[in-house]
Amino acid sequence: MTRQLQSAAEERVFERVRAGRDELVGIVSELISYDTTSREPGEPARDEEKLQRFLAGRLQALEAEVDLWEPEPTGTGNRFVPDDLDFVGRPQLLARVPGGGGGPTLFLNGHIDAVTPGDLAGWTSDPLRGTVRDGRLYGRGVCDMKGGIGGLLFALECLRREGIRLQGDVLFCTNTDEESSGAGGYAVVSHGVRASAGICAEPTGFDVWPACRGTWMTTLTIPGRAGHAEMVHPHWREGGVVNAIEKLPIVLDTIRGIREDWRTRLDHRHPLLAPGDVVPTVVRGGEWIVTYPASCSLTLDVTYLPKHVDEGGSGAAIGREVMDRIGAALSADPWFAYHPATWQLICDTVPAEIPGDDPFVGLLLATAEDLGRSGTVVGLNSWHDAATYTRAGLPTVSFGPGGFETAHALDECVSIDDLVDFAAATAIAAMRFCGC
């Protein structure tokens, strides 16, 4: 498909981006080189601050007002982020590129964290070094989503080099902790970010994702009673052992029933999203190879639709349904009347959606189309930071280059042509949305 841009200025911007192809690859490769892989609470920071300061330096060259800050620890009792997660050495970045005045404000966002590389022996090249092969750029986080971040930045730089000043302001924001919990986006919202509309540069392949499912994540702990595994014991009512692991089938059978129910229920239907689901993801139990396990824990990943967000703005209602149904099944076993199972909420990343026919969605699709990139409106069955911003009153969609099929995988990669066209699409969409 041929390009059909709307003005000579848009053509100039496109040509400027295309001429900077190697520079764009260099920017993204620099981002890949910083180790910002996800961490558990309590682990030290990696290269998050170095990456953010690299971005801040280039944004300051655009005369942006840069705010680089470390949020306060999340503390305990906040259902939306893990307990005691801290941001020491892991700042968030928010930069305002001022416009000439009179236009709407555009928010450009990406998360700088990436999942761990996994087995390094499985990579064809170093995952922390951007490597070009056959027209693709390889490295951990290159599609999810350092390539998108590089494209957002380069779009603003190319607009400046062409002497184009937008009427509206542009907010450039990069945050941590999307992969693990959504805590970074939550921190940005708490900091007061506001704009007319936003782009989260996830690897959508030039589709637009205006809706996602949420995730209510919890751990169920089943109590047992320890004892020697190779001895004969009396009934538990007489002080005998109870194997906590052997209680798991009750829970797993109930989960299968919930899943089958949700697949057919009308309130779990959505035009863009799959029904909610309950997936056991982590199981831990036992203390010794010849000891009856005294406990067994099971972590559940519960996905739910935007319509299931309750009046408190959370997934607590869907969580209660899961807990009540599993609790009812466990109550049929007399052991649990005296030794109840316990639940611990990990976090609740809340979904959101904006209408698929929203004008901003149409603007992004039309811009991509004018560059020869056909996209459509697609729902994300996982979760993304765009939901946090949308729920805070900043309607945000995900829109970015391709490569999603390699996200979290060995040899993660993105097409360099995609990076170039995404940077151009961002620049031109900014011109059309903010005015120039």
Question: Is 1 a residue whose pLDDT tops 60?
Answer: no
Whether the link from the prior residue into 145 is cis, omega within 30° of 0, is yes
pLDDT of residue 435: 95
Cβ atoms of 432 and 235 closer than 8 Å: no
Instruction: Give the mean model confidence (pLDDT) for residues 11-32.
Output: 97
Cβ atoms of 184 and 349 closer than 8 Å: no
pLDDT of residue 425: 98
Which amino acid is present at 19? A
For the chain, the structural domain boundaries read 8-212+351-434, 214-349
Task: Please give the Cα distance from 98 to 170 (Å, whole number).
Answer: 7
pLDDT of residue 150: 98
Cβ atoms of 403 and 418 closer than 8 Å: yes
Name the CATH architecture for the domain at 8-212+351-434: 3-Layer(aba) Sandwich (3.40)
Residues 295-354 have pLDDT tens digits of: 999 999 999 999 999 999 999 999 999 999 999 999 999 999 999 999 999 989 999 999
Cβ atoms of 198 and 397 closer than 8 Å: yes
- Banded model confidence at residue 85, pLDDT cuts 50, 70, 90: confident
- Banded model confidence at residue 31, pLDDT cuts 50, 70, 90: very high
- Which of the residue ranges 72-81, 141-150, 163-172, 382-391 would you say has the lowest mean pLDDT? 72-81
pTM over the 0.85 mark: yes
Instruction: Give the mean model confidence (pLDDT) for residues 176-186.
Output: 92
Distances (CA, A) of 20 to 97, 264, 388, 421: 21, 51, 33, 11
Fold of the CATH domain 214-349: Alpha-Beta Plaits (3.30.70)
- Banded model confidence at residue 242, pLDDT cuts 50, 70, 90: very high
Residues 424-434 have pLDDT tens digits of: 999 999 999 99
Residues 385-428 have pLDDT tens digits of: 999 999 999 999 999 999 999 999 999 999 999 999 999 999 99
Instruction: Give the mean model confidence (pLDDT) for residues 153-163.
Output: 98
DSSP 192: T
Cβ atoms of 381 and 94 closer than 8 Å: no
Average pLDDT, rounded, for the chain: 95
pLDDT of residue 41: 72
| SS3 assignment, position 66 | strand
Question: Is 75 a residue whose pLDDT tops 80?
Answer: no
